[in-house]
Structure 1
Amino acid sequence: MNPNNPSKEDSNAKVSYESAGNLEAGTVTEGSRFQRFKDSFKPADLSHIPNYENLTDLEKAAIATANSPLQRSLKTRHLKMIAIGGSIGTGLFIGSGKALANGGPASLLIAFFLIGVMLYCTIQALGELTVRFPVSGAFSTFCTRFIDPAWGFAIGWNYGLQWLIVFPLELVAASMTIQYWNKDINAAAWVAIFWATIMVINLFGVKGYGEAEFIFSLIKVVAVIGFIILGIVINCGGAPQGGYIGGTYWHTPGAFNHGFKGLCSVFVTGAFSFTGTELVGLAAAETSNPRKTMPAAIKQVFWRITLFYLVSLAIVGLIVPYNDPQLFGASSVDIAASPFVIAVKNAGIKVLPSIMNAVVLIAVLSVGNSAVYGCSRTISALSAQGHAPKFLSYIDRQGRPIFGIMLSGLVGLLCFVAASDKESEVFAWLLALTGLSSIFTWGSICFCHIRFRAAMKVQGRSENELAFKSQPGLFGSYFGVIFNILVLAAQFWTGLFPLGAPKADVTSFFQAYLAAPIVLVCFVFYKIWKKTKFISLEDMDLDTGRREVDNEALVAEIAEEKAYIQSKNFFYRTYRFWC
């Protein structure tokens, strides 16, 4: 489908997002409350989607994802808070303890800084793509349109499978976290309560998800800021126990542990800790005006990386030595292994460990909530592209991908393995299925951005028509692709030869690297089955899915906004650049 030379079928089939309107119009507003509730599960009104029998599979996929009947109910405050605190969870609060023990405080900062820079570039690239194409499925859809449908199939299922598995994992983590206060109640009772709570939230649609994440993220943000202030007080000797610490632990036991291999092992933990940041791009299809709301949310990623990860982990490295025995031998979801809690305990503060445990519980439930949202939207988009069974694309009148939510809920019932003595073994292999998922997702986003810009150049399109441009530009996307490849190499090495192991460990390798062969098998399978071809730059569709279809008006509006910002003082211009 070449937008510069459209055929008659193309012109009839292409429908701007504006024509779809705010698809809540299909919602039933008459009758009793129960009748309205019952009717809300009926199919959304799809009359705005044209007949596209004569189009190719790729053209059908582009139109279907561009005209998804998802509701556009997310507001700017939702997106900003999702961007700032959406992925703050066990990776930061607990996983950082393992990273500190393996690599030391210097490795912790170096690895998280480099991962943060890569992710900043990646989210900027994703922002540019989603502002122009706020389509359902976001990056999995972009892979289909800008790289190869086979790669879109592989990345889409890789991402959907990640959230399918993360949901029961987080439920078990929540049950273990709550046992910090009471170990007498069976874990199965807690996971049942948490499962029902998250499913009810998601049945309220995108409004339910947005409001829940706004509250969850706000609590996490306040907790991290509070810890940073407390950490400074502890480091300066203001705690009940222990005197002035300063940079003592950077000298004894030291800044690094296990040398370069320790640093490589921290990269993997860092990548896991940032998982979920890309959800802000997935939510673009459910905002009323992505050109206004998405840039502000995308820019918040810088502050999250700087404040909530780098500053908090710098404080952790100053007040907790990497050889603290409490960092070792604990479960990856055990609050006792959290360096945040260890720091408070070592300082002799009695009440705060329970408060921090409550924050970790909220963080875990937040990730579980995001898992259902991310899985259901990805699965629905995959189905719309013909990459999954057709019934999974069903979206009701409230904009809920109801069968995607049900699928996530069914797989979530694996959480009841928490009551089994095989719990740790089962979940170690489930986690192996998703261990590298984010690395493939982030690398693919950057590559999609590179291909998109190349296609614009080949087709003679101007970058001035982009409503939002990635601040690091193509350089950032090239850095993102290369860095993600390096992280895959580091994971291969540390997975095959774990820290402290005298020789190669096959079990450890497959638990660390199982996601890679799954992605490759999916890609090769679909490539052979559908005989897909890599999308050429000349034929790449650069228009379907745009909400602003008048290029001249858009360019003029962008120029007017830039002129207004330039007319302001230095402080305002700086604020608008970063916020």
Structure 2
Amino acid sequence: MPHSDYNLSGSSAPMKKENSIIEVYSTGGFSTTPKLNAWEKFKDSFRRQEVNELVIEDDISDVEKVAILTANSPLKRTLKSRHLQMISIGGAIGTGLFVASGSRLHTGGPAGVLIGYSLIGSMIYATCQAVGELAVTFPVSGAYLTFCSRFIDPSWGFAISWNYAIGYLIGLPVELVAASMTISYWNPGVNSAAIICIFYVIICSINFFGVRGYAEAEFVFSIIKVVAVVGFIILGIVIICGGGPNHEYLGARYYYNPGAFSNGFKGVCSVFVAAAFSFGSTEMAALAAAETENPRKSIPKATKQVFWRILLFYIVALTIVGLLVPYNDPRLLSATNFADVNASPFVLAIVDAGIKGLPSVLNVVILIAVLSVGNACIYASSRALTSLAQSNQAPKLFAYIDKQGRPLFGIIASCLVGALCFLVATDDDMIIFAWLSAIGGLSSLFTWGSICLCHIRFRYALQAQGRDTTELTYKAQAGVYGSYYGFAIVILVLIAQFWIALYPIGGKPNANDFFMAYLSFPIIFTFYGSHKIWTKNWRLYIRGKDIDIDTGRQMKDLDLLKQEIEEERNLIASKPFVYRVWNFWC
């Protein structure tokens, strides 16, 4: 049933159309709020955002209710294009690239790392294109978390959303511990709890400034990370060619000795999950769609840049690393410890080249990358909790959004869970945080697979309801076939990870290693089964003809929308060839 006819204009009287789904109430009239001083404004900013009341009729399905509630979220659209682009560019540059790639280089070899990261990277590109199309069409609260309930099944949406939220809730304390370990590079005897306290206060404070606080911080963090990676690539090429202080030509030496692969096919498979961890947060720009000033313009630009981010920041950078550091370097073994910067192949490459001072500079970048991921964890988890609450799948408390557009109790909950970082003061801190990391280990893979499936189901619903892609302001460059490809890759990676979890490299089958690698799987299906039992909804999927493909669109007049899209295409077609190529890729 389409829902494009409801009114949010703020009429002073209740409105109700025949066959309408919601009624809207508003107080109307002139404001008599007295002028407030600075302190009063500060206190007033934490009050609930005043919005038109939505009264939803009882004769519609839960899926339709969720679509209406998330489409009318009071989150403020304050993010600009520059924010979204830097969030997209810098979101995936973190410890997964700078540090975790070291352990994968050890287990997979330089060629294995390139194959693993290239395969996952191609899947990420297709996935980001899919979520870009959906987020531009439906810039609603929760984005892909909401889409799962809307296009697949409410129980699957419930499971994915909670798994996503928990993964990022746990991510904050883990990243804070990683930050304290990074500091130990300069001062091995530093008090970890004291350092964590400082970073904890900084990251939490940033998010209490609202989405603009998060975005401005990410804008700065991302610029620093991008400059660092580009600088490393240039420096790496110089060192490989013999231009470093040692004047030693390396070329492809390490591809011959000790070799291009380590541990054969199993070694390549071991790279997949590490690569998925590295690409985590790539989809974050779509989550911000409900808070973006102009999602129709900003999100396509952000998703198009995924190709260049994968090519430059991962494939090129890791190619350079594989030429600079042999996979049998014993120092890489400690890369399995969260953020041991001494095991970062980027740092090792510079140290081996004999360049003084620069390793410390790179460690500062790694520290910034860790804090950036921690900052993103609060943003992602708080928005996920808000979306769940608006979908009636979490306590209503988390649906509270204040006058500054902050999901206040979602942020508070994220900060409270983040306080787990102070467990670093215990004797078993590494064991604790290893298991915390395991909880969200496969979270990104399930999220990406679900995004691809949502896109497939959305395109199927368009066809089933006699409509087509001419009404889409942005279409995924990889098309629906890209989503089929992305979904297939996710399934293959989950199978490969199951094999590695069951038969670990250099070890025998054991429960500890298996659940450390595969804990997310039973957690997700526990959520899924519990929701099925609780709601008694035994339907496995929503039929294409019943999927709501209208609620949440910014422009409800499809004829006018198609006209605007055609005008934009004609304008682009009239531009020079160079401009058209630039517009396609950037």
Look up the equivalent residue of 1:544 and give its one-letter code.
T
Q: Does structure 1 conserve the Cα–Cα contact (< 8 Å) formed by 2:2 and 2:550?
A: no
Aligned to 2:157: 152
Aligned to 1:13: 22
Q: Distance in 2 between matches of 1:515 and 1:176?
A: 26
Using the TM superposition, give the Cα deviation of residue 51 of structure 1 relative to its aligned residue in structure 2, in angstroms: 4.3
1:373 and 2:382 correspond? no
The equivalent position to 1:509 in structure 2, one of 502, 514, 517, is 514
Q: Distance in 2 between matches of 1:567 and 1:491?
A: 49
Look up the equivalent residue of 2:362 and give its one-letter code.
M
Residue 11 of structure 1 aligns to a residue whose secondary structure is: coil
Aligned to 1:391: 397
Aligned to 2:273: 268
Q: After superposition, where does 1:183-222 map in structure 2 within 5 Å?
A: 183-222=188-227
The equivalent position to 1:461 in structure 2, one of 459, 467, 485, is 467
Q: Distance in 2 between matches of 1:500 and 1:192?
A: 38
The equivalent position to 1:536 in structure 2, one of 533, 543, 568, is 543
Aligned to 1:135: 140
Q: Distance in 2 between matches of 1:55 and 1:99?
A: 50
Residue 99 of structure 2 aligns to a residue whose secondary structure is: helix
Q: Does structure 2 conserve the Cα–Cα contact (< 8 Å) formed by 1:14 and 1:63?
A: no
The equivalent position to 1:256 in structure 2, one of 227, 246, 261, is 261
1:116 and 2:121 correspond? yes
TM-score by length of 1: 0.96
Q: Does structure 1 conserve the Cα–Cα contact (< 8 Å) formed by 2:341 and 2:363?
A: yes
Q: Distance in 2 between matches of 1:486 and 1:189?
A: 43
Q: Does structure 2 conserve the Cα–Cα contact (< 8 Å) formed by 1:102 and 1:265?
A: yes
Q: What CA RMSD, in Å, does the superposition of the two structures yield over aligned residues?
A: 2.0
Q: Distance in 2 between matches of 1:542 and 1:191?
A: 46
- Structure 1 pair 10–523 and aligned structure 2 pair: CA distance change class (3 A): farther
Residue 196 of structure 1 aligns to a residue whose secondary structure is: helix
**CA-to-partner distance for each residue in 1:189-246, whole Å, 9 max, x for gaps?**
1111111101110000000011000000000000000000000000000111251111
**CA-to-partner distance for each residue in 1:335-377, whole Å, 9 max, x for gaps?**
0110000000000001110000000000000000000000000
Q: Distance in 2 between matches of 1:29 and 1:188?
A: 45
Aligned to 1:415: 421
- Structure 1 pair 572–381 and aligned structure 2 pair: CA distance change class (3 A): same
Look up the equivalent residue of 1:570 and give its one-letter code.
F
Residue 156 of structure 2 aligns to a residue whose secondary structure is: helix
Using the TM superposition, give the Cα deviation of residue 559 of structure 1 relative to its aligned residue in structure 2, in angstroms: 1.1
Q: Does structure 2 conserve the Cα–Cα contact (< 8 Å) formed by 1:71 and 1:398?
A: yes
Residue 233 of structure 1 aligns to a residue whose secondary structure is: helix
Using the TM superposition, give the Cα deviation of residue 278 of structure 1 relative to its aligned residue in structure 2, in angstroms: 1.1
**CA-to-partner distance for each residue in 1:480-511, whole Å, 9 max, x for gaps?**
1110011101111111111111x212100000
The equivalent position to 1:500 in structure 2, one of 494, 499, 506, is 506
Q: Distance in 1 between matches of 2:301 and 2:309?
A: 13
Using the TM superposition, give the Cα deviation of residue 184 of structure 1 relative to its aligned residue in structure 2, in angstroms: 3.2
Q: Distance in 2 between matches of 1:71 and 1:381?
A: 14
Q: Distance in 2 between matches of 1:140 and 1:515?
A: 17
| Structure 2: gaps of 5 or more residues | 7-15
Q: After superposition, where does 1:470-489 map in structure 2 within 5 Å?
A: 470-489=476-495
Look up the equivalent residue of 1:313 and give its one-letter code.
L
| Structure 1: gaps of 5 or more residues | none
Number of equivalent positions: 571
Using the TM superposition, give the Cα deviation of residue 57 of structure 1 relative to its aligned residue in structure 2, in angstroms: 2.1
Q: Distance in 1 between matches of 2:247 and 2:151?
A: 57
Aligned to 1:570: 577
Aligned to 2:12: none
Q: Distance in 2 between matches of 1:521 and 1:49?
A: 33
Q: After superposition, where does 1:214-293 map in structure 2 within 5 Å?
A: 214-241=219-246, 243-293=248-298
Aligned to 1:319: 324
Q: Distance in 2 between matches of 1:30 and 1:179?
A: 50
Q: Distance in 2 between matches of 1:123 and 1:97?
A: 26
Q: Does structure 2 conserve the Cα–Cα contact (< 8 Å) formed by 1:9 and 1:55?
A: no
The equivalent position to 2:412 in structure 1, one of 406, 415, 429, is 406
Look up the equivalent residue of 1:567 and give its one-letter code.
S
Q: Does structure 2 conserve the Cα–Cα contact (< 8 Å) formed by 1:29 and 1:36?
A: no
1:546 and 2:553 correspond? yes
- Structure 1 pair 56–11 and aligned structure 2 pair: CA distance change class (3 A): same
- Structure 1 pair 563–394 and aligned structure 2 pair: CA distance change class (3 A): same
Q: Distance in 2 between matches of 1:493 and 1:14?
A: 53
Using the TM superposition, give the Cα deviation of residue 552 of structure 1 relative to its aligned residue in structure 2, in angstroms: 1.3
Using the TM superposition, give the Cα deviation of residue 86 of structure 1 relative to its aligned residue in structure 2, in angstroms: 1.2
Q: Does structure 1 conserve the Cα–Cα contact (< 8 Å) formed by 2:167 and 2:440?
A: yes
Q: Distance in 2 between matches of 1:96 and 1:507?
A: 23
The equivalent position to 1:78 in structure 2, one of 72, 75, 83, is 83
Look up the equivalent residue of 1:236 and give its one-letter code.
C
The equivalent position to 1:55 in structure 2, one of 49, 60, 66, is 60
Q: Does structure 2 conserve the Cα–Cα contact (< 8 Å) formed by 1:2 and 1:539?
A: no
TM-score by length of 2: 0.95
Residue 538 of structure 1 aligns to a residue whose secondary structure is: helix
Look up the equivalent residue of 1:116 and give its one-letter code.
G
The equivalent position to 1:345 in structure 2, one of 324, 334, 351, is 351
Q: Does structure 1 conserve the Cα–Cα contact (< 8 Å) formed by 2:23 and 2:56?
A: no
Q: Distance in 2 between matches of 1:171 and 1:300?
A: 29
Residue 546 of structure 2 aligns to a residue whose secondary structure is: coil
- Structure 1 pair 466–29 and aligned structure 2 pair: CA distance change class (3 A): farther
Aligned to 1:88: 93
Residue 262 of structure 2 aligns to a residue whose secondary structure is: coil
